[in-house]
Amino acid sequence: MDLPCVAPDIHAYLLYQYKNKEDKYAIGSIDRDRFIEVTESKKDIVLKTISFMDGTNTFDEIEEKVTADTGLTINSRKMYAILEKADLLQEENHPNAQKNEFERFGFKVIGIRIDKMKGIFDRLSRFVMPASLITVLLTVLSLVLFFLNKISITDFSLLGFQDHYIRNFILMFLVSSISISMHELSHGITAAKYGLAPKSISLTLYLYISPIFYIKLPGLYTVKPIQRIHIWFAGVMANAFIGCTGFIMALICKQLGASEHLIFTLNYVCYINFTYFIVNLCPLLPLDGYFILATIMKSPNLRKRSFSSVKDIFKSGKIKITVPQLIYFTLSMSMIAFLVLRELSAMIILFRKNLDGGISNAFWSIKQYLFLIVMFPIVRIFRKRIQKKR
């Protein structure tokens, strides 16, 4: 492009402060929710270069003006390529723009705009601290009751049930939908407490088979690190609240002699929310725990850099990966392999357990797994056709 033009609302925001090295800044667009990282010494010249990329200057003119104003030289074409990858050009969703992990390895099923609900999020944000306090108290009470009642944790699969009634499959869907929705909305409500406006909520099939809900919070990098952690942690706090409530109510109902189905439902509410609590805090998956860890370590894009470094080894044959990146990549891939093999093992055990009732009965018992297996190639084909049309 002879007259480069970038997004109009690009500004610099302090990302991390360090004691022994330069502070790091995020230069980006809140509207696009995209940014690039620069050190403090490069911040001014990068901003100056971007200010001349308004569609009225050529690359050579930009370099001349930057040198005249700062006395420094910069490769404007290289800077433009970096902004292009970050999707910070005037043309949104540029073909060369890098996508996040959910976009690259998933399929977006649906996206709902919620930016018009800002007033509702702002009003609900007043209850963030009281809700957090209540959740802590419920968690302590649940732990006390757990040990007093000498309850043991039964290890069973998230998709595998003790029986294969369709009722339980529907129950899993309803409880999961409500729990995930509360998880994501809690991120948005807490973000509103710090002045951010949630933009949308989306459903994506991660790895084309695993449904993942996530809320888009433009400008999350503009708030303080401790506030970012609070926002990331809000989701699992919601799961802890729901899980503890289900656990306590199940104990009460059991004492009152309520129906087994009601107690089973409450126990499942407890189980699935505690599962989400643990899984989301795992830093080896691209979920809340990872972003919390990256924020604490002051190392944004740790996961992306780790995977990119390994990918570059196969491309160039040169090893340019740090020890922390190699450790993170190895542990992350091990976690993914464990989750896949665990579900595969659960499917086989469930199938063999019900084989005595006939082959059709055995296949019906693993219907939830078969559904995901069938959907995988269908979604891949559907996605490729959409990409060709674009």
DSSP of 199-259, one letter per residue? -EEEEEEETTTEEEEEEE-TTGGGS-HHHHHHHHHHHHHHHHHHHHHHHHHHHHHHHHT--
Q: Which residue has the tokens 């709902």?
A: 112
Q: Dihedral angle at the C-alpha atoms of 154, 159, 161, 167, nearest 10 degrees?
A: 140
The tens-digit pLDDT sequence of the chain (390 residues) is 578 999 989 999 999 998 888 999 999 999 888 899 999 999 999 999 999 999 999 999 999 999 999 898 999 999 999 999 889 998 877 777 777 666 666 667 778 888 889 999 999 999 999 999 999 999 999 999 888 887 655 434 444 444 545 666 677 778 888 898 899 999 999 999 999 999 988 877 666 556 677 888 999 989 999 999 999 999 999 999 999 999 999 999 988 988 888 888 888 888 889 888 988 898 887 789 989 988 988 877 778 778 878 877 877 777 777 777 788 888 888 877 887 787 788 788 888 888 888 888 888 877 767 776 676 666 556 655 655 555
pLDDT for res 140: 95
The pair phi, psi for residue 7, each rounded to 5°, is: -60, 145
The strand pair at 34-39 and 106-113 is best described as unpaired
For the chain, the domains span 10-98, 100-287
Q: Which residues pair with 203 in a beta bridge?
A: 110, 213
pLDDT for res 382: 62
Contact between residue 1 and residue 57 where contact means Cβ atoms under 8 Å apart: no
Q: What is the DSSP letter of 356?
A: G
Element (H, E) at 84: helix 76-85
pLDDT for res 161: 47
Contacts of 89 (CB under 8 A, 6+ apart): 4, 5, 6, 7, 80, 83, 97
- Give residue 193's identity as a one-letter amino acid code: K
Per-residue tokens: 326: 């190699």
Q: For 84-103, b where at least 16 C-beta lie within 10 A, e where not — what string?
A: bebbbbeeeeeeebeeebbe
pLDDT for res 152: 56
Sign of the alpha-carbon dihedral angle for 115, 128, 186, 232: positive
Contacts of 219 (CB under 8 A, 6+ apart): 30, 33, 196
E-only strand ranges, the chain: 10-16, 24-29, 34-39, 106-113, 200-206, 210-216
Helix (H, G, I), strand (E, B) or coil at 98: coil
Contacts 24+ apart (CB under 8 A), 69-75: 70/44, 70/45, 72/45, 74/45, 74/46, 74/49
Query: Taking the CA atoms of the chain, what radius of gyration do you get in angstroms?
Result: 25
Q: Nearest CA to 151 among 30, 63, 74, 250?
A: 250
Q: Is 44 exposed, middle or buried (0-12, 13-18, 19+ CB in 10 A)?
A: middle
- Provide the whole-model pTM: 0.79
Q: Which residue has the tokens 């970012």?
A: 228
Q: How far apart are CA 265 and CA 263, in angstroms?
A: 5
pLDDT for res 123: 95
